[in-house]
Chains A and B, each alone.
Chain A
Amino acid sequence: GIQVEQSPPDLILQEGANSTLRCNFSDSVNNLQWFHQNPWGQLINLFYIPSGTKQNGRLSATTVATERYSLLYISSSQTTDSGVYFCAPGGAGNKLTFGGGTRVLVKP
C-alpha cells in the first residue's frame, strides 16, 4: 500500500506566525485530501488536491504529484488552528491512506 510520511510531527507556533506542513507519499495517486482534527477529535476535510494549488482563506495547499509530495500552508495562525493535520492520499475510489499527522499547537 501507499506509504505516507508527514513532517514535522509536532509544531508549536506563536499566534500570527506562518508555517508549512509537508506530506510525502510513496506511489502515484489520483486522490489526496487534507484533514484537520480539532482538540475534541472532530475531523474536517480541508482540501481535495491531487495536483496543483488551492486556497481557502488562510489555508492553502499545493500538491506536486510527479514528485509525490503535498504541502499545507497556514498563514497568520490562530489558536483555533490547533489540532492535528492529516494528509491522506489514495488510489481509485475514496479509499484513503492517512499519514501519522502533524500536531500543531498555536499559542496566544
Chain B
Amino acid sequence: NAGVTQTPKFQVLKTGQSMTLQCAQDMNHNSMYWYRQDPGMGLRLIYYSASEGTTDKGEVPNGYNVSRLNKREFSLRLESAAPSQTSVYFCASSEAAAEGNTIYFGEGSWLTVV
C-alpha cells in the first residue's frame, strides 16, 4: 500500500519552462490537495479537489493549473515557471472534504526554478 505517490521527486527548471507534477493515491479517497511549502514556513494550499470532476482554488493558485484525471490522480501544472515557484510541493488526499478526515501527504517534490 503506497499511499500518496508524487513524481518527480526533484526537478530543476529554467524560467519560462513548463512542467507537470503527478500525484496518485491508492486509498480510494475522494478528496485531493496540492500544497506548497517555502523554506522555513508552513504549507499553503494551491488547489484542491473535493471529489472526482471538481477542482477549486486554494490560497495561492496563481501560476498553476490542476487536473483531476480520475479518482486516483490529481496533477499540478506550471505553465511558465518563475523563480518564485521554487518550493517543495506536497500532494495529499483524504476520504472526504470534511473536517475530521485524516489528510495523508505524499513525500514531496522539490522544485527549483533558475
Contacts and interface: CB of A to CB of B under 8 A. Distances in A.
Interface of A: 1, 4, 30-31, 33, 41-45, 48, 50, 86, 88, 90, 92-101
A43 B42 contact: no
In the complex, which of the residues A43, A86, A99 has the most CB atoms of chain B within 10 Å of its own CB atom? A43
B44 A93 contact: no
Residues of A contacting B: mostly: loop
B59 A1 contact: yes
Contact of B90 (A43, A88, A94, A101): A43
Interface residues of B, number: 28
Residues of B contacting A: mostly: loop
A86 B108 contact: no
Nearest to B102: A45
B61 interface: no
B88 A41 contact: yes
Contacts of B97: 93-95
